[in-house]
Amino acid sequence: MANLKERISIVDGALVHRQGSEILQIEPWGGDSLRVRATVGPEILPTPWALTGPAGEPAARGRAQIEVTDAAAVIRNGKISARISDIYTQSGYLQFFRRGSDGAEKCLLSEQDYVVWAHNPTTRVYRPRGEGLCHSEVHFAPRQGERFYGMGLQATGTLDLKGCVIDLYQRHVKHTVPFLVSSEGYGLLWNNPSVGRVELGHNLTRWVSHGCRQIDYFICTGDSCADIMHRYADATGHAPPLPAWAAGLWQCKLRYASQAEFLAVAREFKRRGLPLSVLVIDFLHWTHTGDWALDPQAWPDVPALVRELNDLGVRIMISPWTLVHPMSRNWQPMKEAGLFTGSTAGRCDTVCFGGVNGEDNWMHQYDPTNPAAAAYLWDKWKKNYVDQGIRTFWLDPCDDLHEIADYEAVQFHIGPGVEVHNYFPVAHQKNVCQGLHAAGEKDVVTICRSSWAGSQRWGAAPAAHDIMSSFEHLRTYMKAALNMAMSGIVWHASEIGGFITPDPDSDYFRELIVRWYQYGVFTPIFRTHGCRPHNEPWSFGEQACRCISDAILLRERLKPYIMAQMDLASTHGAPPQRPLFFDFPDDPRACQIEDQFMFGPDILVAPILDYGRRQRQVYLPAGATWTNAWTGAVYPGSETVTVDAPIESIPVFTRDKSQWIPPSEP
């Protein structure tokens, strides 16, 4: 075997290691960041996937320092470096380090050392599966006490993901965003939209792709979580500035079936003096699925509807869906032009979904990765929605609607589903965002049912969809929302009240929706939705209405603070809603708290997550003094206090005498 120096080359500022059929390439990618690609194919591919500027441009590559000796090859970009060396069990062994202000090097991440030669599985695995694809894996060594956060919206029931196995596919109660932040001080993006999984085990961290052309990941470091999120946003795209109209209440239910019903809701909000930002027209507003137009029988005068809502200061959002039924006017031309997703196995070119107006369940799905399909869909959306004055879209769905077992058999324009499945939401979000920009709409915010790395730069506000109306799901998805925030998706939306509601008239549900609203005030997008006959504040009895109204009015008072946090989210990638350790990294207890969070740097929120609870313990992190927002009582940090939680409010504390919430409220 050639010695290390003979296997190393420097190509355009990138460090390249060749051994056998494998090419391993490491290059700078923004500040304090590196991109790693490896393949057994003929060359490293330039496909960017989630990564955008500042890319590995000549100027960025010129900043890298590369040193090659007999013992190791090292590439450094700012505070991060990668080292390739030979160890007893592996040639081309890869490790990453962070240089501190004192010049000391700390190991951030290492490939697994399997100790012995016998039956060594290697740390970079390639198993050819045809058509240029490989089942590929990367194995990293575990670190004692390491914690992981991020990975999108996953119903693990935990905030710390260490010990979890996460399948890498999209589903409407699951958003796969393969970026994680480690307590060891790095962020890692698995820049690969293929179907796969990640195993965050106590004995091994293993990233798996069931079919890709190359291993591709991005790693960054920084002095804080905020620095890491900033580096990640620089690499994958910053969220645009949130428009002020998006900071208030988004009202929705399944579904407002007519123009008259829709208008009555908007007028009642106005009559009651309740602020309303967005009112949503959900699916089945069409004559046939895939018409992408409002049914004139139910919606007879859309321009008049838009004018009245505009006069009320309310924006209309609509959910056009992405399926096309053979009874639709668009089915035949799209079928002839090949604008639907196809099949690699001849069995899944249609998807099953409940129809309406005599439709059966089998429909076709537009292919968002096909430029011709994107242009066709946007032409219809523009004519039938945007030109009518409806300029905000709910992208439900924006995930592959085939059966999960069929994901690998779907064929997209840009490749087989096994290779590109997770890219579906980004492709659709990009199509809609660019279409709106071309139509003159500057402020794009899209609620979306799925998301992937980079979704944030297209104005995506992901939300859990079709979750249960239960305190259990409130607990689960509160933690999932914090991990979504740590995935670089800064505009996460709640689904206040949950969607599937067995008994909307029960005392249990009335208390649940009050507690969910009180939590939702402190989420980036303040949104309610549900499958129940009525979902307006006045629908749940006098006491619930009073509490919900207080929550809506509190959200309105917080708008200056919210917009300040949204500006930071856009410019620096700092999520407004985040775990306690984000702001208090030096407090070892902060990372143990999973049922509280910070909303910006000055507001600590402790939601009520159990039915009937009227009191709870709240941990107040060290390094600050804390004021009970409702009583004005002041507490030192590093204490656990027991706080009353009457049905009218949840525990909220402000930091260091911040006055964002007047002590007399609510």
Predicted confidence at residue 665, as pLDDT, reads: 45
pLDDT in tens, 536-580: 999 999 999 999 999 999 999 999 999 999 999 999 999 999 999
State both tokens at 576: 């407004």
Confidence band for 375, pLDDT divided at 50, 70 and 90 = very high
Q: At residue 413, what is the residue type?
A: H
What is the overall mean pLDDT for the chain? Answer: 95
Contact 242, 570 (CB under 8 A): yes
CA distance 83 to 96: 6
| Cβ atoms within 10 Å, residue 635 | 17
Q: Is 344 left (phi over 0), alpha (psi -120 to 50) or beta?
A: alpha
Collapse the DSSP code of 60 into the 3-class scheme (helix H, G, I; strand E, B; otherwise coil) and give the result: helix
| CA gap 199, 206 in Å, rounded | 5
Residue 663: the pLDDT is 45
Q: Which of 490, 491, 509 is nearest to 499 (CA)?
A: 509
Full strand arrangement of the beta sheet holding 323-324: 323-324, 362-365, 351-352
pLDDT digits (tens, 9 = 90+) for 451-487: 999 999 999 999 999 999 999 999 999 999 999 999 9
Query: What span, in angstroms and rounded, lies between the C-alpha atoms of 660 and 555?
Result: 11
pLDDT bucket at 661, cuts 50 / 70 / 90: low
* Gap between the Cα atoms of 604 and 618, Å rounded: 10
- In this model, does residue 238 exceed pLDDT 80? yes
- 525: which DSSP letter? B
**Cβ within 8 Å of residue 102, ≥6 positions away:** none
Q: Which pLDDT score is estimated for 54? A: 52
> In angstroms, rounded to a whole number, what is the distance separating the alpha carbons of residues 636 and 624?
7
Q: Average of pLDDT values for 352-367?
A: 82
Provide the whole-model pTM. 0.96
> Percentage of the chain with pLDDT > 70?
96
- Decide if pLDDT at 57 tops 70: no
Q: In whole angstroms, how large is the CA radius of gyration of the chain?
A: 26
What does the pLDDT average to over 203-210? 98
Least confident of 15-19, 527-531, 648-652, 657-661: 657-661
Supply φ then ψ for residue 144, to 5 degrees.
Answer: -65, 130
Separation CA 543–CA 541 (nearest Å): 6
What's the rounded mean pLDDT across residues 181-198?
A: 98
> For position 351, what pLDDT does the model report?
86
Q: Is the pLDDT of residue 313 over 90?
A: yes
Mean local confidence (pLDDT), 627-649: 97
